[in-house]
Structure 1
Amino acid sequence: MGSYDNTPTVVVVLVPIRGGLLMIRRGVTDGHGELAMPGGYQMRGETWQEAGVREVLEETGVRIEADRLRLLTVVTTPDRRQNLLFGQTPPVEHEGSFVHDSEVLEVVVVDEPVRTAFPLHDEMVERFFRCRLTAETEH
């Protein structure tokens, strides 16, 4: 029986909050100091939704509900090393300050598209604000 080299799944969550989008400033080597959406690896035994809930809580202190996460898209990174699973929550209420783990330098809320550590995140952030703008002009 040969060994397998499986492609890991990274769950990235778009969290609408306080009129904007929840972001973290990365404290780890890859993209250190740059913005990204909260997310991380799905662990064996977790659903993608549970992984998203855990990562958002660890990185921001914000509680989201697994059953309210909606799948937006799945993309394989250009280097084919990871599958990125993008999900989005309905708008979230969060009182007080944000808390984060050692992998995060700070938690911020952006109210317009921003450059992130990763081109695939950039695309999703732009899409989020474009969709929001479209929805606002239709009402």
Structure 2
Amino acid sequence: MGYDNTPTVVVVRVPIRGGLLMVRRALPGEGQGRLALPGGYQMAGQTWREAGAREVLEETGVAVDAAALRLVAVETTPDRRQNLLFCEAPPAVHDGPFVHDAEVSEVVVIRAPVETAFPLHTAQVEDFFASREQDRS
């Protein structure tokens, strides 16, 4: 009998160009056409940091240093089907256009909180901008 393990999804907050890096989901199903933070499944043989950096690169074309990713929250989805590791990269520098894989239809930089495809992502976006406000005051 095999184990029915809960997969780990690594989601990355990437400060860039004075805002926060976001992707518009292209895959059919939950959240299609809506904004989300870049992220995806941790594959066997990868650390969570390596998975986060890989997903950001695949979904946006932005390179982040895996070793510099900092864990900010761990959540389990309401349906208890996935564990989400939310982390943050140091501010990224990326000149030129963004590039993305087939899972993404658009890469954007937001400069204020928005409602995303997933409530847990929305909470992280709000937290990201709230922490920036605290830093300025």
TM-score range, shorter chain: over 0.9
In the alignment, what sits opposite 2:83? 83
CA–CA distance in 1 between the matches of 2:7 and 2:64?
Answer: 23
In the alignment, what sits opposite 2:22? 23
Structure 2 SS opposite 1:97: coil
Normalising by structure 1, we get a TM-score of 0.97
In the alignment, what sits opposite 2:113? 113
CA–CA distance in 2 between the matches of 1:111 and 1:88?
Answer: 16
Letter in 1 for 2:18: G
Letter in 2 for 1:9: T
Structure 1 SS opposite 2:101: coil
CA–CA distance in 2 between the matches of 1:136 and 1:111?
Answer: 15
Residue-pair matches, total: 136
CA–CA distance in 1 between the matches of 2:47 and 2:131?
Answer: 27
Gap regions ≥5 residues in structure 1: none
In the alignment, what sits opposite 1:51? 51
Offset from partner CA, 1:16-37 (integer Å, 9 cap, x none): 0000000000001221100000
Deviation at 1:3, TM superposition (A): 1.4
Normalising by structure 2, we get a TM-score of 0.98
CA–CA distance in 2 between the matches of 1:28 and 1:36?
Answer: 12
Gap regions ≥5 residues in structure 2: none
Deviation at 1:114, TM superposition (A): 0.4
Letter in 2 for 1:36: A
Structure 1 vs Structure 2: percent identity of aligned residues?
A: 65
Deviation at 1:130, TM superposition (A): 0.4
